[in-house]
Amino acid sequence: MIQLAKPFIPDEAFEDLRAVLATGHLIQGPQVERFESLLADYLGISHVILVSSGTAALHLSLAALNVREGDEIIVPAFTFPATANVVELLGATPVLVDIDLSDFCIDPGLIEGKVTKRTRAVVAVHEFGQSADLERILEITRRHGLPLLEDAACALGTEYAGKKAGTWGKVGCFSFHPRKTITTGEGGAVVTDDPDLAARIRSLRNHGIVIHKGIPDFRYAGFNYRMTDLQAALGKSQLSWLPQMIKRRRELAAHYGRRLVPLRWVKAPCELEQRRHSFQTYHILVREGMERDKLKDHLKGHQIETNIGAYALHCLSYFREKYGYPESDFPCAAAAYRRGLALPIGNHVTEEDVSRVVEAISEFCP
């Protein structure tokens, strides 16, 4: 079976994990601090706060921005549900905006029409490791005085105009789920250049605790969203390998692109101007009328694991039933959800594997 994704765990990770176990200090501690420092250097940002998941990163960020009941948060209609779920959990309303099928990210041309007096933030998701159009999005958010939250769960190492995704807005959120290029099993990070926001997020991460002159106090009703030292040691050991892992993904993506050219019914992902794709996911789009799910089953029969890429939120039961969305409201999101397919990519995949995948796809519809 060619797996869709497989974590790359370097040999040094095992020694790092043994060292942590030997100390007996397993919860948030020196390994978390070290991983935070290394990530801050890599991203070129002042503050990194490691947390228990990418979802926790989003939840903490919006809570720290004082999002509350009655507020509206603009989010792309095509993403993993966590992006909008955290808005719901704070009592606010996710306001959906359709995507552009060229990058599967929020369409900047549609954002301004969704801004109201209740809008408190805009969330841009860098889907599949492709940067959203940050220049256009930031022009809109600045004009309206709104913070930009970057959901960079899939985009560690992605760049826009030479600057790392996740570091352009008020706050950025990353995930270290096993499908991501770097994994801590579960885990995530919040990044920002705002020291006050960083301090609030650090406190909210750990039950709302604030230590003043050595005396602990609880200033907020916070969460237990801490990362363990075991997780941090695992992530830290992979960080030095990240440029090499992204380079390998880009090589495999280029090989996919060349092999898929003859298949006119398949749209391969592309790299757009000013953007450096990290290819956390290699997401294709099949022609309208093609049966994506049958293609998925066909590939499974050839021992090739695939999956859908992300979700059209308005097509999911919770959002459809609560807000009464018809599928036609966000046609590009619906198309990406119904016709998109993620193919195997990562250090475990070879050029021969890519050729085998494309050959199997071509057999489905020669």
Between vectors from CA 251 to CA 80 and to CA 8, what angle results, nearest 5°? 60
In whole angstroms, give the CA distance from residue 8 to residue 247.
14
Could you give the CA distance from residue 300 to residue 295 in angstroms, rounded to a whole number? 9
Query: Amino acid letter at 366?
Result: P
- Report pLDDT for 212: 85
What backbone torsions phi and psi does residue 144 show, to the nearest 5 degrees? -100, 0
Pick left, alpha or beta for residue 146 (phi over 0 → left; psi -120 to 50 → alpha; otherwise beta): beta
- In sequence order, the β-bridge partners of residue 275 are 160
**pLDDT, position 213:** 85
358-362 contact pairs (CB < 8 A, 24+): 358/256, 358/259, 358/260, 358/263, 360/298, 360/299, 360/302, 360/304, 361/260, 361/263, 361/266, 361/295, 361/299, 362/262, 362/263
Backbone torsions φ then ψ of 283, nearest 5 degrees: -110, 115
DSSP notation for 223-253: -B-PPPHHHHHHHHHHHTTHHHHHHHHHHHH
Q: What is the mean pLDDT of each run of 10 residues along the chain (366 residues)?
A: 96 93 91 98 98 98 97 98 98 98 98 98 98 98 98 98 98 97 97 98 96 90 97 96 98 98 96 96 96 97 98 97 94 98 98 98 87
State how far the Cα of 182 lies from the Cα of 179, in Å rounded to an integer. Answer: 8
What's the rounded Cα separation, in Å, for the pair 28 and 18? 16
Helix axes 11-23 and 229-239, enclosed angle (nearest 10): 150
| Confidence (pLDDT) at 231 | 97
Res 366: pLDDT: 61
Residue appearing with tokens 């692109």: 257
Residue with tokens 């380079």: 247
Which residues lie closer than 8 Å to 341 by C-beta, 6 or more apart?
A: 283, 284, 285, 286, 292, 295, 296, 306, 307, 308, 309
Distance between CA atoms of residues 145 and 143, nearest Å: 6
Domains of the chain (ranges; CATH) run 11-238 (3.40.640.10), 242-364 (3.90.1150.10)
Q: Are 341 and 283 in contact (CB under 8 A)?
A: yes
Residue 272 to residue 261: CA distance in whole angstroms: 18
* Helix runs in the chain, H state only: 11-23, 30-43, 54-64, 82-89, 108-111, 134-144, 195-205, 229-239, 242-260, 292-301, 317-323, 331-339, 351-364
pLDDT score of 236 = 96
pTM value surpassing 0.85: yes
What pLDDT was estimated at residue 25? Answer: 86
Radius of gyration of the chain (CA): 21
CB 68 within 8 Å of CB 93:
no
